[in-house]
Structure 1
Amino acid sequence: MEKQPHITEEVAQAVARAAERVAAGGVVGYPTETVWGLAARPEASERLYALKGREPDKPVQVSCLDEVTARRLTEAGAAFDALAGLWPGPLTLVLPASSACPPDLAPGGWVGLRVPDHPVALALLRACGGLLATTSLNPSGQPAARTFAEAQAYGLVPLLLPDGGFPAQGLASTVVRVVGDELEVLREGALPVQLLRERLRTFSSGGM
């Protein structure tokens, strides 16, 4: 993983307060390089559904500090090796869950994994043990928040982390399910799907 930009002491203190709230079972708002998100401990993921008014059949994703943390949660094998090299970044991989994955985050045996490319998001993950249940910060059916002001206007949580001078780009992550050597596109997003297919194809042919 590339070295992340520095965050200020003020932002670091805000991250510490957010981590305390998460540890107590609360939910916080935080910035990513795509859009703003909501985060909770995996055991408190049901609070994300309640805040958003989200349908229970729509799973939340697991945001991870790094590829090593994500790898423990999946049985993906070669497909993971091919695509995880694009992390940190705007890519959510839906992969077969391992026994180490919290069951509430792996409905039907699948888990959505992402490593964000934002210094504040990574600082929060580091302070919370490396993984969090996450989803976009917006009521279901409404646009995702792209700025602190938009996140604040939704009023979903009392604690919002600042972006630390690293604004979101406003386009959600690309979401793909990996089935063998094939990709099922669940959501077009910031990362071109063609890049993913080419990378998977190159890896499968022994070119990486």
Structure 2
Amino acid sequence: MLAGGVIAHHTGTLPGIAAATLNQQSTDRLIRFKQRRGPFLLLADQKATAARIARYFSPELRRQMHAAWPGPVTLVFPGRPGLPACCYRKGLVAVRVDSSLQARQLAHACGGLLASSSLNRRGGAHLRPDRNLQMRFHHYLDGRIIGLPPAGKASSIIRIRRNHSTVIRR
């Protein structure tokens, strides 16, 4: 992935596809696979990594991070500049420290952050990171990681604005 690849993997929620955020070739390949320009979820290896990308660190953001992570909760908050454009939407980033140790280790191996999304293509059903997937999309994927099957349910999403939070999806 650090060399520009994209990988299919399991998370604690749905199977995902991920790219190293700091490698433009890798994020470009993610965009081509997903058939959209973003924004993509950022999977962080730990809370401290996620905290470093926050534009400001409100008491509510701190509370939500400690209550929700690691776990199946995505927090949306204003992000610092410096990440690829595909990670932002109107200055906001969506970040999760996943419950899957394997997903956290993968993020750690890529510098602490992965640009990630659910493993499906525009308008299509969720795919599984199996051998058939790798063969079918070999021109997009450099590999797959076999792990524990995910929970099969999308993460909850909570938006943090200053010192208030709003549940977007349960």
* Partner deviation per Cα, 1:29-82 (whole Å, 9 max, x = no partner): 11111111111122332322210112x3x4101110000000000024212211
Report the structure number with the largest CA radius of gyration: 1
Instruction: Select 2:145's aligned residue among 142, 161, 164.
Output: 161
Instruction: State which of 92, 103, 107 in structure 2 corresponds to 1:125.
Output: 107
CA RMSD between the two structures: 2.2
Distance 1:143 1:32 in 2: 17
Name the structure, 1 or 2, with higher relative contact order (CA <8 Å, separation 6+).
Answer: 2
1:73 maps to which of 49, 53, 62 = 53
Paired residue type of 2:9: Y
- Number of equivalent positions: 161
Contact 1:76 / 1:96 at 8 angstroms: preserved in 2? no
- More strand per residue: 1 or 2? 2
Structure 1, unaligned stretches of length 5 or more?
1-21, 189-208
Q: Percent identity?
A: 31
**Contact 1:23 1:128 survives alignment (8 Å):** yes
2:64 corresponding residue in structure 1: 83
Question: Normalised by the size of structure 2, how large is the TM-score?
Answer: 0.84
Amino acid at match of 1:132: L
Q: Are 1:97 and 2:79 matched, yes or no?
A: yes
In structure 2, list runs of 5 or more residues that go unmatched. Answer: none
- Which of 153, 162, 165 pairs up with 1:171? 153
Larger helix proportion of the pair = 1
Say which SS state the counterpart of residue 107 (structure 1) adopts.
Answer: coil
The answer as to 2:169 corresponding to 1:187 is yes
Whole-angstrom CA distance in 2 between matches of 1:143 and 1:91:
22
TM-score, scaled relative to structure 1: 0.70
Distance of 2:144 and 2:115 partners within structure 1? 16
Moved over 4 A (4+): none
